Amino acid sequence: MARTADRPAQEALLSRAVWEVLAHQGLERLTIRAVAAAAGCTTGLVMHRFPNRRALLVHARRLLHERTRARVEALEASSATPREALRAVLRQGLSLDDELRTESTVWVGFLAAAVADDELIAQHRVNNQSWRQRITRLVAAAAPDWPAERAAVAASALIALVEGAAALGSGDPAGYPPAAQERMLDDTLAAFGLAG
Amino acid sequence: MARTADRPAQEALLSRAVWEVLAHQGLERLTIRAVAAAAGCTTGLVMHRFPNRRALLVHARRLLHERTRARVEALEASSATPREALRAVLRQGLSLDDELRTESTVWVGFLAAAVADDELIAQHRVNNQSWRQRITRLVAAAAPDWPAERAAVAASALIALVEGAAALGSGDPAGYPPAAQERMLDDTLAAFGLAG
DNA sequence: GCGTTACGGTAACATGCGTTACGGTTAGGG
DNA sequence: CCCTAACCGTAACGCATGTTACCGTAACGC
């Protein structure tokens, strides 16, 4: 054998570098060299870990989903009531601080990149489907007497609201400050009869 | 002088070509050559009409806004009631058919491109502010007895809902078919007490 | 301790990019 | 009727990109 590198750690490092470049320099500057510079290594390491640029993007996309999934499950587990869980899980999808704003910007970037990439668009659909199932389940738990279809439509609406608010908040933080985003979410939950 | 070319018509033709490439090939393939090919001309014409690539994108972005503004004002003028106008104006922001889906995809592409372009991000904010003012005015007209702040928050929530639904619908048309998107909008309007 | 092999840095390659320069063409003004 | 200037197609330039090839280096098995 030879020296043993920590592959998962390096892949995570490079994925974080992809997010960094995507959020602060945009899709057009998302180059192997820019990623390597953001990760503090050379292009040699990048191309040694991934066969090509697309594989790097796909992995970074997958890791982004895993990260939010883990965060969401922790929030769900630590919530006292179904309605509290629903609100907490939806809330973390907004652009409330620098980290969440970066994630939303990266999410928009990946969605834009998916237009020309079959693998990214497939990942987007799979991820969004699991996201919808989760929110639908939380809505059903928060309103047990609702028919399934009503819960599903409300869940879809809440997802669209959060996704749109996050995108608008990442594109115009001053126009959509954290308090305004949370207010939009809380008012909509109240309007649907899913508050507190 | 010399032969007189129809500048506005050519600029519109090239802007439509920008939308075409952006929607079907993505930001990465949005090159001068691809735009020229989509417009059925050579790069010579493109560079003769615009000083550089950024100016072309900025103009296409501006024209997209003008286009939706004109459509929205026609819908507003032909609506019988304020609530009908509110619904019609919000509805055209969804991804209901090929044309609207293309527009949503292009909108996401421009938002992603704006990350690295000060002029595009400034345009996004100006456009979104006028969009918010319009929806806030329509909500206030649809619910005259509401305090201004309530109308403003409801307007922001409806904008986020439509923007998010359009983005999700453009990224997964099968998962968010037109009827589902309209159902989300109608249910949310009803939840806010702004229906028909 | 030594050979082997994974590791990863360096540099070259071909390609495609934005941009520029040039030149043929065409339509108006005098 | 020609002269001039706008029009725009063509082709080149310099540069940055993704990818590949190469090679020195360092750690593990024997």
A136-161 residue pLDDT tens? 999 999 999 999 999 999 999 999 99
Q: Please judge whether A160 and B171 are an interchain contact, meaning their C-beta atoms are less than 8 angstroms apart.
A: no
How far is residue B171's CA from residue A126's CA, in Å, rounded to a whole number?
11
Give the pLDDT score at B61: 98
The CA distance from A113 to the nearest CA of chain B, in Å, is 6
Mean local confidence (pLDDT), B92-99? 98
Q: How confident is the model at residue A108 (pLDDT cuts 50, 70, 90)?
A: very high
Among B29, B115, B161, beta carbon nearest to A161: B161
pLDDT above 90: residue A5: no
Name the CATH architecture for the domain at B7-191: Orthogonal Bundle (1.10)
Q: Please judge whether B125 and A187 are an interchain contact, meaning their C-beta atoms are less than 8 angstroms apart.
A: no
Domain ranges across chain A: 7-191
Among B28, B154, B165, beta carbon nearest to A27: B28
Residues in chain B within 8 Å Cβ distance of A124? 171-172
pLDDT above 70: residue B2: no
User: How far, rounded to the nearest angstrom, does the alpha carbon of residue A170 sit from its chain's CA centroid?
Assistant: 12
Residues in chain A within 8 Å Cβ distance of B175? 125, 128-129, 132
The separation, in Å, between residue B2 CA and nucleotide D4 C1' comes to 8
Q: How confident is the model at residue B6 (pLDDT cuts 50, 70, 90)?
A: confident
Give the pLDDT score at A3: 65
Mean local confidence (pLDDT), B184-192? 98
How far is residue B115's CA from residue A21's CA, in Å, rounded to a whole number?
10
Q: How confident is the model at residue B3 (pLDDT cuts 50, 70, 90)?
A: low
Angle between helix B53-77 and B32-39 (nearest 10) = 50
Q: Please judge whether A108 and B111 are an interchain contact, meaning their C-beta atoms are less than 8 angstroms apart.
A: yes
Element (H, E) at A90: helix A82-91
B180 touches strand C (CB under 7 A): no
Q: How confident is the model at residue B162 (pLDDT cuts 50, 70, 90)?
A: very high
Among B112, B161, B176, beta carbon nearest to A27: B112
Chain D positions with a protein C-beta closer than 7 Å: 4-11, 16-21, 26-29
Chain C positions with a protein C-beta closer than 7 Å: 4-11, 16-21, 26-29
A47 touches strand D (CB under 7 A): yes
pLDDT above 60: residue A2: no
Q: In degrees, to the nearest 5, what angle opens at C-alpha A82 toward C-alphas B150 and B183?
A: 55
Mean local confidence (pLDDT), A1-20? 87
CA-nearest of B125, B132, B127, B113 to B57 is B113
pLDDT above 60: residue B83: yes
Residue with tokens 């950024």, as numbered in its chain = B54
How far is residue A151's CA from residue A145's CA, in Å, rounded to a whole number?
10
Q: Please judge whether B175 and A29 are an interchain contact, meaning their C-beta atoms are less than 8 angstroms apart.
A: no
Residue with tokens 């969605």, as numbered in its chain = A111
Mean of pLDDT over chain A? 96
Mean local confidence (pLDDT), A96-108? 98
Mean local confidence (pLDDT), B141-151? 98
Mean local confidence (pLDDT), B46-71? 98
Mean local confidence (pLDDT), A80-85? 98
At residue B141, what is the residue type? A
A44 touches strand D (CB under 7 A): yes
Q: How confident is the model at residue B5 (pLDDT cuts 50, 70, 90)?
A: confident
Among B26, B163, B184, beta carbon nearest to A156: B184
Residue with tokens 């983005």, as numbered in its chain = B167
User: Whose C1' is closest to the CA of B3: which nucleotide?
Assistant: C27
pLDDT above 90: residue B153: yes
Percent of chain A with pLDDT over 70: 98
CA-nearest of A64, A80, A100 to A141 is A80
At residue A48, what is the residue type? H
For residue A140, the 8-state DSSP code is H
B43 touches strand D (CB under 7 A): yes
- The token pair at A66 is 């895993």
Percent of chain A with pLDDT over 90: 95
User: Whose C1' is closest to the CA of B6: which nucleotide?
Assistant: D7
Give A23-79 pLDDT, tens digit per residue. Answer: 999 999 999 999 999 999 999 999 999 999 999 999 999 999 999 999 999 999 999
Question: How long a stretch of residues is chain A?
Answer: 196
Grouping H, G, I as helix, E, B as strand and the rest as coil, residue B3 is coil
